[in-house]
Amino acid sequence: MNKRDLLAYSFLTVFAVFTIFSMLSMHSFGVPDENAMDQYIIDNTVEETGASNGVTAVVFDYRGFDTLGEATVLFTAVAGVILVFRRLKK
Amino acid sequence: MKGMSLIVRTIANISFPFILIYGFYIIAHGHLTPGGGFQGGAVVASGLVLMLIAYNAEWISQRIKESHLSIFESLGALSFVLLAFLGIIFGTAFFSNFLVGTESLFGGIPLDGAANINTGGIIPLMNFAVGLKVIAGLFAIVYVMAHFISKKEGKIA
């Protein structure tokens, strides 16, 4: 076992220990510690956005920046694919 | 890339309008039912891809040009950002929903809990913008790849 393997194994051990301890200290599924934001969105979605679908209200209104980033990712992907695949016949 | 058999073409011809209607329904009802611009746009783009693989790339390129797809995608992205900027002018912040609560189109608030399509403020408009962008974008990817394959096959054969 050389120096690099020793470094890798020690890093993996530390990483695994931290992961296991953070898993053990997680709250149980479906019971968030802080639910003020969730309750705010559930209570005020219809009055503030007028949308019956709460998920779309979050995606397009409360988190519009996230959707803008998603649209930019799609735009970049399409631009890249068109750039790679066009004009290769010459 | 020669296209597929008569059976596949007939079934594609029959199911194509229904796929389009379903996709546009998902886009238009994004603020009421599950789905939205991304999901409905993917459904419509799948219908267009069905026609592309049932026929062939040349058949599609006689009807839709790749530059038109680019224009449509840019148009969707620009109208999405423009709607977000209109929130600064007419509302309070970037992406603020300035249409909700007004008398304009999509301005209603469904306080009785009933699903009314004339609600949601700018959310339906943004769904249309993102839907246009996703239709043109996803179809452009398959379109360009299909043309690449057909040119390559023509060179080998």
pLDDT above 90 covers a percentage of chain A that reads 38
B121 Cβ under 8 Å from any chain A Cβ: yes
Most B CBs within 10 Å: which of A61, A65, A87, as the mutation test of the B interface? Answer: A61
Cross-chain CB nearest to B140 (options A51, A65, A82): A82
Q: In angstroms, what CA-CA distances link B19 with A52, B38, B42, B87, B126?
A: 25, 15, 11, 34, 22
Mean pLDDT of A63-86: 90
Q: ipTM score of the complex?
A: 0.83
Which B residues, 32 through 91, put their C-beta within 8 Å of a C-beta on chain A?
Answer: 32-34, 36, 38, 66, 70, 73, 77, 80-81, 84
Q: Say if residue B155's pLDDT is above 80.
A: no
Q: Domain residue spans in chain B?
A: 6-156
Query: Which pLDDT score, from 0 to 100, does residue B49 have?
Result: 93
Split at pLDDT 50, 70, 90, the class of A80 is very high
Cross-chain CB nearest to B123 (options A47, A60, A65): A60
Split at pLDDT 50, 70, 90, the class of B22 is very high
Contact at CB, B70 and A74, closer than 8 angstroms: no
Q: Say if residue B96's pLDDT is above 50.
A: yes
Mean pLDDT of B83-95: 87
Note every long-range contact of B97-104, with CB atoms under 8 Å and residues 24 or more positions apart, other chains counting: B97/A48, B97/A49, B97/A50, B97/A61, B97/B121, B97/B122, B97/B123, B98/B122, B99/B125, B100/A48, B100/A49, B100/A50, B101/A50
In angstroms, the separation between the Cα of residue B124 and the nearest Cα of chain A is 9
Instruction: Give the 3-state secondary structure of residue A82.
Output: helix
Instruction: Please give the residue of chain A at the shortest CA–CA distance from B102.
Output: A50
Instruction: Please give the residue of chain A at the shortest CA–CA distance from B87.
Output: A61
Q: Domain residue spans in chain A?
A: 3-85
Query: Which pLDDT score, from 0 to 100, does residue B75 have?
Result: 93
pLDDT tens track for B26-72? 999 988 888 888 999 999 999 999 999 999 888 888 888 888 988 99
pLDDT, mean over chain B: 87
Task: Please state, in angstroms and rounded to a whole number, the distance separating the CA atoms of residues A60 and B80.
Answer: 10
B115 Cβ under 8 Å from any chain A Cβ: yes
A42 Cβ under 8 Å from any chain B Cβ: no
Q: Say if residue A88's pLDDT is above 60.
A: no
pLDDT tens track for B63-76? 888 889 889 999 99
Helices B37-54 and B6-28, packing angle to 10 deg: 170
Split at pLDDT 50, 70, 90, the class of B157 is very low
Contact at CB, A52 and B119, closer than 8 angstroms: yes
What is the DSSP code (8-state) at residue A63? T
Q: Say if residue A51's pLDDT is above 90.
A: no
B14-18, B84-88, B102-106, B145-149: least confidently modelled range: B102-106
Query: Which pLDDT score, from 0 to 100, does residue B77 have?
Result: 92
pLDDT, mean over chain A: 87
